[in-house]
Amino acid sequence: MNNPYSREPVWLLNPQFGKIDYNVYVQNTNKKTLYNILWSPANNDTCIVGFNTPAELSKLHPEFAAHSKFYSDYDFFRSKDLGNYRLVPEFPGSKAPSALPADISLLLKRPKKDVPFVGAYPLN
């Protein structure tokens, strides 16, 4: 008897977005347990492939992560123990701001000549 809930997997043929870039990835190699980037679709049994650096992703898909940065073994927050998650000024990634994409700036109602910054999209 056929199980009506059993189906063949549906394979993704294309990425779910057209661009991902200008990100900063930091990894503590002493505590490495997961990949920094999980990518799908991939041509394997799980349809997922893991990457440690944006350069590895860019090698497989040159249109993604060409300008992203990777830093290994940096303490980049002022104090995780005290909940102070501001970046330390010495962290090289703190000097790599980028402008928001125009469509994101419009969505967040940011000024047209907004100052580039490091971090997630601002909400204020």
Delimit the domains of the chain by residue range.
Answer: 18-73, 78-124
Residues 26-55, mean pLDDT to the nearest whole number: 84
Q: Per-residue pLDDT for 55 more than 90?
A: yes
Please answer whether residues 97 and 116 qualify as being in contact, where contact means their C-beta atoms are separated by less than 8 angstroms: yes
Distances (CA, A) of 42 to 11, 57, 89: 9, 11, 38
pLDDT at 56: 93
Q: In the structure, what pLDDT confidence band is assigned to residue 50 with cuts at 50, 70 and 90?
A: very high
Per residue in 81-112, pLDDT tens? 888 888 888 888 877 777 777 888 888 888 87
Q: How far apart are CA 32 and CA 65, in angstroms?
A: 21
Q: What is the pTM of this model?
A: 0.67
Q: What's the angle, vertex CA 53, arms to CA 51 and CA 46, rounded to 5?
A: 10
Q: How far apart are CA 44 and CA 13, in angstroms?
A: 12
Please answer whether residues 19 and 57 qualify as being in contact, where contact means their C-beta atoms are separated by less than 8 angstroms: no
